[in-house]
Amino acid sequence: MCEPTLLLTAAGSTMTAVGGLASAGAQKRAEVEKYKRELKLREIDWDRTRAEYAQNTIEMQEQVDENFLAASRGYAAEQTQLNDIFNQATVTFQDDFVKLMEAQKFMGSGVTAGRLEGRNLAAFGRSQALTASNLVRARESYDSDVGDIRRQLLEANRKAYAPVKFKPIPGFAPMKPDTDMTGANLAFMGSMLGTAATGLEGYAKMNDGRMPWSPKPKAPASAPQSRANAAGWPGNQNN
């Protein structure tokens, strides 16, 4: 492996390691940005939910107030109607009693007068019995109508309370991302060490097993020549 190829290989490995570390950092930043965006969306959704709940609570209270007012008007109308019936019964009783007294004072005495008096008293009694029966039915009708109003009030209030029956609670927060770069840094360091080891191995192969920090070998000494050879005497030359 020639030295330029070794350098290119080391540079490529280094760029790959740096790129991997940069990619891991970018991924971590993307996860953090996604986490922040999800938190913001959760906050916006929670604010909207609370605003809707508050508005529903106001509308519920207004509806409940209207329901009670309507029920109160119904109760008052039923009570007024019942009072009118009892007042009318009182007036009827007084009129019947006055008529009875006026009829009784002209009866005189005797058997016939006694029969007429008994008949008038019986008619008065029948009238009072009919009035009492009407009052009983009026009271029963009042109780039934008031019970219906109360049931309608409860049903209307249940419908009004339905939207705010359960108080909202915020949902689960998104999972916080893992921003620890220890693994990515260790992988980068391992890749760089591997690149360095590969480079040193290639260097050693090209330099007979020597490392860059190894001392350079000394050049071998040349063999000493005799003076005769150094002087170039012919007698020492080959024919």
Confidence band for 230, pLDDT divided at 50, 70 and 90:
very low
Mean pLDDT of 145-149: 94
**How many Cα atoms occupy the beta-carbon half-sphere of 116 within 13 Å?**
14
Which has more pLDDT, 117 or 204? 117
Of 31-35, 66-70, 80-84, the one with minimum mean pLDDT is: 31-35
Q: Average pLDDT of 27-47?
A: 86
Length of the chain: 239
Q: Tell me the torsion sign for CA atoms 28, 33, 36, 41.
A: negative
**Average pLDDT, whole number, for the chain?**
76
User: Pick the residue with more confidence: 11 or 152?
Assistant: 152
Is there a contact between 71 and 160 (Cβ–Cβ < 8 Å)? no
The lowest-confidence range among 101-110, 111-120, 177-186, 209-218 is 209-218
Distance CA 219, CA 104 (A): 168
Q: Are 172 and 39 in contact (CB under 8 A)?
A: no
Nearest-Å Rg of the Cα atoms of the chain is 59
Q: For residue range 160-204, what is the model confidence (pLDDT) as tens digits?
A: 999 898 888 887 878 877 666 666 566 666 666 666 666 656 666
Q: First and final CA of the chain: distance in angstroms?
A: 48
pTM equals: 0.54
- Give the span between the Cα atoms of 147 and 143, in whole angstroms: 6
Give the pLDDT of residue 7. 55
Percentage of the chain modeled with pLDDT above 70? 58
Task: Compute the C-alpha angle 194/200/3, nearest 5°.
Answer: 115
Structure tokens that stand for 171 in this block: 């949902």
Transcribe the chain into DSSP letters.
--HHHHHHHHHHHHHHHHHHHHHHHHHHHHHHHHHHHHHHHHHHHHHHHHHHHHHHHHHHHHHHHHHHHHHHHHHHHHHHHHHHHHHHHHHHHHHHHHHHHHHHTT--SSHHHHHHHHHHHHHHHHHHHHHHHHHHHHHHHHHHHHHHHHHHHHHHHHHHHGGGSS-----PPPPPP----HHHHHHHHHHHHHHHHHHHHHHHHHTTT--TTSPPPPPPPPPPPPHHHHHT-GGGS--
Residue 130: pLDDT band by 50, 70, 90 thresholds?
confident
Residue for token pair 């008096």: 117
pLDDT over threshold 90, residue 120? no
User: How does residue 77 score in pLDDT terms, banded at 50, 70 and 90?
Assistant: very high
